[in-house]
Structure 1
Amino acid sequence: MMETDASSSGGWRFAQCFGDKGEVEDITEADIISTVEFDSTGNYLATGDKGGRVVLFERNEQKKGCEYKFYTEFQSHEPEFDYLKSLEIEEKINKIKWCKRQNSAHFLLSTNDKTIKLWKVFERSLRVVSESNLQDGQRPVAPPTQAAQLKLPRMQQQDNIVAAVPRKVYSNAHAYHIHSISVNSDQETYISADDLRVNLWNLNISDQSFNIVDIKPTNMEELTEVITAAEFHPTQCNVFMYSSSKSNIKLADMRDSALCDRHAKMFEEEEDPSNRSFFSEIISSISDVKFSHDGRYILSRDYLSLKIWDINMESKPIKTIPIHDHLRGKLCDLYENDCIFDKFECTWGGDDKHVLTGSYHNYFRIYDVDTMNDIVLQADKSAFKAKKMGGPLPGNKMGMKNGRPGSMRENMALDTLDFNKKILHASWHPRENTIAIAATNNLFLYSAA
């Protein structure tokens, strides 16, 4: 493993931070970021929060390097109440997925637990009446007395505004909470997944979906596993995968049958019986899966590790990367405070040569897939307190070791970790080394040369 301290952050630099920079204790629940996603060009970035809002950022072309500016914000979902089940439905945005841009407008899907919406975001000019029969600009004029004096009102462009309108609302198709949506490479269909089902939608049809995976047992008492994530293959529009709480990933082919209950491939690693414990099933549950951009590999994240699978080898992963092994001895405490159920996401770098995932105390790790060297960084307020952007990344002031600052990796293993600060959501720019990290209510951007 490559040691990384503040002076050798692998070329990564803190670039920007959006959001209120107050203390964690003062944060409003609604402001906590619950998803973050670059579009396919990397020129736009979206975040969703627990308050049901979607905020879009646009690349700032005036600035050298990769910098973003606020583009627009809109309320995507409102809190609802299901009277039949006496359930409150949160407005929290679980996922946002961009559709590939076809014209000057942007289209993106956002979902809460129950309802998916397709938003159209576009710029339009605001026009005002500059001249009419009763006024000339701001100056009132006497009304005309003869028909010949009547004139057509004149319009003048006043401003450009960014509008967001919901084009489609896809509702009532999921009995359980939606945790995943994925747009197909054909840009015509998408899948949505909850704990027991995966549905296939046509983007243009909101009142009909096809159930393509159903693992609900006839008797719910026999339920042994749930679906945890689902994603379409990046280039083959008939192939998708879904992961389960039983530590396996199933690859399905929609050409095979209408209901993809028979998977084409299953990726699963046999557990060593000597390592079995009360927590085994919880920590082996897969929280996220991602295809590499070329579709050749699969990246999966469970509670303690990242795994990279070759799509042609189902028996075992080609790489297993421990993320925070030092927490193995603390599983009891993590079970007590519910942290053991945290769902960490994982993501590939645009070149498929690096992978990224988060940890506690706002630490996150970037791994080189070939060499397995890693970089530990911290999305911390000290980053934007650094005066010089060109200087080294700060954040190593936590532990002193033999009179010198401890490295990030040593700090990660300390007992002083704050489990309320966690990096669950991140996105990697598709074309360059820029990453967006959601840290509670702040959005951090880091770039590497």
Structure 2
Amino acid sequence: MSETAGGGEGEVPWCFSQVKGTIEDEVADADIISTVEFNHDGEFLATGDKGGRVVIFQRDGTKMRGVKPMVTSPPVFRCDYNVYSTFQSHEPEFDYLKSLEIEEKINQICWVKQSGSSLFLITTNDKTIKLWKISERCRRYSNLNTLTDDGQIRKDRKVTELKVPVKNMDDVSIEAMPRRIFSNGHTYHINSISVNSDDCTYLSADDLRVNLWDLERTDQSFNIVDIKPANMEELTEVITSSSFHPIKCNEFVYSSSKGSIRLCDMREKALCDNHAKLFEEPEDPSSRSFFSEIIASISDVKFSHSGRYVLSRDYLTVKVWDVNMESKPVETYPVHDYLRGRLCALYENDSIFDRFRCGWNGDDTKLITGTYNNFFRIFDRKSKTDYCYEASRDMSTLGQILRHKKVTQTTTRKRKDDVGVDSLDFNRKILHAAWHPRDNILAIAATNNLYLFHEQQP
């Protein structure tokens, strides 16, 4: 698939909506965003950072859930998100038995489907998983029988009628409370968590194992995948990511550092060491190099919303696999193929080990992933075109249309928006991006800033 400098015919332009975060020349490591995730209906957006903090944003127009506006008006497309709640999820710890520091960095956030008025989400760092409940508490009631509005005790003789207390919706506090803490389940660093479609269980994966947990039990987990060899010197690959099927609660996939994806069925066996399907693309011996295994490592794997396809991201490409065809991917999209000749330099500055995430849009027709220089790529599966945009603070006007970027191998620029490959800033990178599950809204994490973009409405 070729890179296009401009949009395809019929393309709807993307526009700038918002940017959250501070403008600083030197960004503290604790402020760097480490995960971004929309909830199931897209009304809430959660981010986690390396400092262990979680920030939840609520979409504008839904100030108070459960309260209907008094005046009916035609719907207006809004993609503004305001801060709803902020809390400290994890703290730095120290494992004295292993003399190992455990970072507070949030590795991943997963939303649990909302069944009542409260929100539930799961967060994890390298070792500990927590289930959080975020609820609204009214701090003040009026029209009470036993108290006056200013809080004074009402005398019995002055209580002449029965009043119905009124909750003051303009005086609500948001509380985040840890409902469950799942610890001691992993020896190695947790790289991913995924909630099952049954909303009762979830899985967590580290380098060598995948565990299955019950959301109601913290004292027990079931090991469903274990690739640890008897002799660690025989270890040839590690688990890099894992995800549940969106519909079938018995199926899940996990990816490895060797570029393979395994689909497992928990109905076949309690321990899913023998996979049901193996998705792996045969390597071309003529193109093998020192960097082949490194760039083949899959950093993220996700089922499509329909469950028909699996999306994977390695260092240079995004691939779409059909669950019914294991031999090769049905679609392959180069993300930054212009870096293929610069792998040695990327190895020396450790950029080659960056873990880029990827995602689907709501109807599984488009893909999103990030790259360097704060560029992110959108791939259209129908038109077979791709677009490259930049998340930049230079965009200050609401609704400003994004301009297509193109990276060239030459130093001479043909267009204003052309960027030479030697000019790329490898410290500015989009590792985390999320697509709204229903609307065309993108949340892009760039260092300590969160950018929101939307497609231009007709």
Q: Any idea what SS the aligned residue of 1:187 has?
A: coil
Once the two structures are TM-superposed, the CA of residue 135 in structure 1 deviates from its matched residue by 10
> Is this contact kept in 1: 2:129–2:182, CA < 8 A?
yes
**2:87 — aligned with what?**
74
Return the match for 1:99 from 112, 130, 140: 112
Once the two structures are TM-superposed, the CA of residue 21 in structure 1 deviates from its matched residue by 2.1
In the alignment, the residues of structure 1 paired with residue 202 and residue 103 of structure 2 have an alpha-carbon distance, to the nearest angstrom, of: 23
Q: Any idea what SS the aligned residue of 2:341 has?
A: helix
| Aligned counterparts, 1:156-305, within 5 A | 159-305=171-317
Could you list the runs of 5+ residues in structure 1 that have no partner in the other structure?
none
Return the match for 1:21 from 20, 23, 27: 23
Give the aligned length.
435
In the alignment, the residues of structure 1 paired with residue 78 and residue 422 of structure 2 have an alpha-carbon distance, to the nearest angstrom, of: 37
- Between 1:43-52 and 1:54-63, the stretch displaced more is 54-63
Once the two structures are TM-superposed, the CA of residue 391 in structure 1 deviates from its matched residue by 3.8
Once the two structures are TM-superposed, the CA of residue 320 in structure 1 deviates from its matched residue by 1.1
| Aligned counterparts, 1:392-407, within 5 A | 392-393=401-402, 405-407=415-417
CA pair 135-236 structure 1, distance change in 2 beyond 3 A: closer
In the alignment, the residues of structure 2 paired with residue 357 and residue 319 of structure 1 have an alpha-carbon distance, to the nearest angstrom, of: 15
Aligned amino acid, residue 14 of structure 1:
F
TM-score in terms of structure 1 length: 0.90
> Is this contact kept in 1: 2:300–2:313, CA < 8 A?
yes
- Calculate the aligned-residue CA RMSD, in Å: 2.9
Once the two structures are TM-superposed, the CA of residue 398 in structure 1 deviates from its matched residue by 9.8
Once the two structures are TM-superposed, the CA of residue 133 in structure 1 deviates from its matched residue by 11
Once the two structures are TM-superposed, the CA of residue 4 in structure 1 deviates from its matched residue by 3.6
**1:87 — aligned with what?**
100
Per-residue CA distance 1:152-206 (angstroms, 9 max, x = gap): xxx9967210000000000000000001000000000000000000000010111
Q: Are 1:3 and 2:15 an aligned pair?
A: no
Aligned amino acid, residue 78 of structure 1:
E
In the alignment, the residues of structure 2 paired with residue 397 and residue 222 of structure 1 have an alpha-carbon distance, to the nearest angstrom, of: 43
Q: Any idea what SS the aligned residue of 1:42 has?
A: coil
Q: Any idea what SS the aligned residue of 1:20 has?
A: coil
Aligned amino acid, residue 306 of structure 1:
V
Per-residue CA distance 1:371-420 (angstroms, 9 max, x = gap): 2201101111112x3x3x3443258699999786344xx42x52011111
Once the two structures are TM-superposed, the CA of residue 149 in structure 1 deviates from its matched residue by 10
Once the two structures are TM-superposed, the CA of residue 254 in structure 1 deviates from its matched residue by 0.2
- Between 1:226-235 and 1:12-21, the stretch displaced more is 12-21
> Is this contact kept in 1: 2:8–2:385, CA < 8 A?
no
**2:126 — aligned with what?**
113
Q: Are 1:445 and 2:452 an aligned pair?
A: yes
Aligned amino acid, residue 393 of structure 1:
L
In the alignment, the residues of structure 1 paired with residue 184 and residue 368 of structure 2 have an alpha-carbon distance, to the nearest angstrom, of: 34
In the alignment, the residues of structure 2 paired with residue 404 and residue 271 of structure 1 have an alpha-carbon distance, to the nearest angstrom, of: 36
In the alignment, the residues of structure 2 paired with residue 134 and residue 94 of structure 1 have an alpha-carbon distance, to the nearest angstrom, of: 48
**1:30 — aligned with what?**
30
In the alignment, the residues of structure 2 paired with residue 105 and residue 288 of structure 1 have an alpha-carbon distance, to the nearest angstrom, of: 29
Once the two structures are TM-superposed, the CA of residue 3 in structure 1 deviates from its matched residue by 3.2
Aligned amino acid, residue 98 of structure 2:
K
Aligned amino acid, residue 428 of structure 2:
K
Aligned amino acid, residue 20 of structure 2:
F
Return the match for 2:421 from 414, 427, 437: 414
Q: Any idea what SS the aligned residue of 2:279 has?
A: strand
In the alignment, the residues of structure 1 paired with residue 211 and residue 407 of structure 2 have an alpha-carbon distance, to the nearest angstrom, of: 47
Per-residue CA distance 1:255-313 (angstroms, 9 max, x = gap): 00000001000000100000000000000011111111000001111000111111100
Q: Any idea what SS the aligned residue of 1:200 has?
A: strand
Once the two structures are TM-superposed, the CA of residue 131 in structure 1 deviates from its matched residue by 10
**1:122 — aligned with what?**
135
Once the two structures are TM-superposed, the CA of residue 67 in structure 1 deviates from its matched residue by 1.5
Q: Any idea what SS the aligned residue of 1:277 has?
A: coil
In the alignment, the residues of structure 2 paired with residue 369 and residue 131 of structure 1 have an alpha-carbon distance, to the nearest angstrom, of: 60
Aligned amino acid, residue 374 of structure 1:
D
CA pair 398-321 structure 1, distance change in 2 beyond 3 A: closer
Aligned amino acid, residue 405 of structure 1:
R
Q: Any idea what SS the aligned residue of 2:86 has?
A: strand
In the alignment, the residues of structure 1 paired with residue 96 and residue 181 of structure 2 have an alpha-carbon distance, to the nearest angstrom, of: 20
> Is this contact kept in 1: 2:142–2:149, CA < 8 A?
no
Q: Any idea what SS the aligned residue of 1:382 has?
A: coil
> Is this contact kept in 2: 1:35–1:425, CA < 8 A?
yes
- Between 1:56-65 and 1:230-239, the stretch displaced more is 56-65
In the alignment, the residues of structure 2 paired with residue 133 and residue 258 of structure 1 have an alpha-carbon distance, to the nearest angstrom, of: 59
> Is this contact kept in 1: 2:389–2:403, CA < 8 A?
no
Once the two structures are TM-superposed, the CA of residue 136 in structure 1 deviates from its matched residue by 8.9
> Is this contact kept in 2: 1:7–1:392, CA < 8 A?
no
Per-residue CA distance 1:33-76 (angstroms, 9 max, x = gap): 00000000000000000000000000101774221111010000
**1:368 — aligned with what?**
380
CA pair 436-350 structure 1, distance change in 2 beyond 3 A: same
